[in-house]
């Protein structure tokens, strides 16, 4: 039995759910989202909770997946999600003008990053980025794309990293050569 799929999804106040045969439409104060529902998964809404049921054990993986996607949509449209990034390195910084973030990361040119619709960004002290949005998957992908602009270097620990990300610093080469 899927333990994730059996959990009820609590519906906060202000969240409206419309269920069709192939989709769940979730609307809330932070936006709207659509979650696909595969064949064999049925939904029931009662007393402020949403319950997902499956037709058989062959749908166990889809049961848990659909429940997780629906839960993320409900939380996203009611409270939203946040991802934080830190920029570490001398001269490394980010500036935000409208929907365009300009990164200076030690390359010969600044990098312009266009924020997609539904993702908002705040820059604190030019080195701390706070990304917010209602779509968890899109938010995580945007944060990963920003981190990929200059991943943390294992020798100097410079680059763009998630706030609180544990990094292992490697020991560099020593001055004495190995010789013959």
User: Coil, strand or helix: which one is 132?
Assistant: strand
pLDDT at residue 145, rounded to an integer:
92
pTM over cut 0.95: no
Q: How far is CA 119 from CA 57, 63, 90, 141, in A?
A: 37, 28, 28, 11
pLDDT at residue 17, rounded to an integer:
87
Q: List helix spans (H) across 79-167.
A: 136-148
Locate CATH 3.90.930.12 in the chain. 3-78, 81-162
pLDDT at residue 9, rounded to an integer:
86
pLDDT at residue 175, rounded to an integer:
65
pLDDT at residue 1, rounded to an integer:
47
Cα(43)–Cα(174) distance, integer angstroms: 63
How many Cα atoms within 13 Å fall on the side-chain side of residue 2?
Answer: 23
Q: Do residues 140 and 83 lie in contact, with contact meaning Cβ atoms separated by under 8 Å?
A: yes
Q: How many residues does the chain have?
A: 180
Q: List helix spans (H) across 34-173.
A: 60-78, 136-148
Helix (H) or strand (E) holding 3: helix 3-6
Q: What is the dihedral angle through the alpha carbons of 56, 58, 59, 60, rounded to the nearest 10 degrees?
A: 100
Cα(171)–Cα(54) distance, integer angstroms: 52
Class of domain 81-162: alpha beta
Query: Could you please report the per-residue DSSP string of 82-97?
Result: EEEEEEESTT-EEEEE
- Residues 119, 125, 128: CA angle, nearest 5 degrees: 45
Digit-coded pLDDT (tens) for 61-75: 888 888 899 889 988
Class of domain 3-78: alpha beta
Residues of the chain below pLDDT 50: 1
């Amino acid at each position: 039995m899927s333990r994730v799929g059996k959990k009820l999804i609590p519906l906060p106040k202000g969240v409206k759910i419309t269920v069709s045969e192939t989709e769940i439409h979730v609307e809330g104060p932070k936006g709207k989202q659509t979650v696909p529902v595969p064949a064999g998964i049925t939904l029931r809404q009662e007393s402020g909770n949403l319950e997902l049921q499956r037709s058989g054990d062959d749908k166990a993986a889809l049961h848990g997946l659909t429940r997780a996607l629906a839960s993320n949509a409900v939380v996203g449209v009611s409270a939203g999600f946040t991802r934080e990034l830190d920029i570490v390195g001398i001269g490394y910084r980010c500036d935000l003008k409208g929907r365009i973030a300009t990164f200076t990361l030690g390359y010969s040119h600044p990098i312009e990053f266009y924020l997609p619709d539904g993702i908002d960004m705040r820059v604190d002290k030019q080195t701390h980025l706070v990304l917010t949005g209602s779509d968890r998957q899109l938010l995580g992908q945007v944060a990963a794309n920003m981190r990929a602009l200059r991943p943390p270097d294992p020798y100097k620990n410079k680059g763009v990293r998630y706030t609180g990300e544990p990094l292992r610093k490697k020991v560099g080469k020593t001055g004495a050569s190995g010789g013959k």
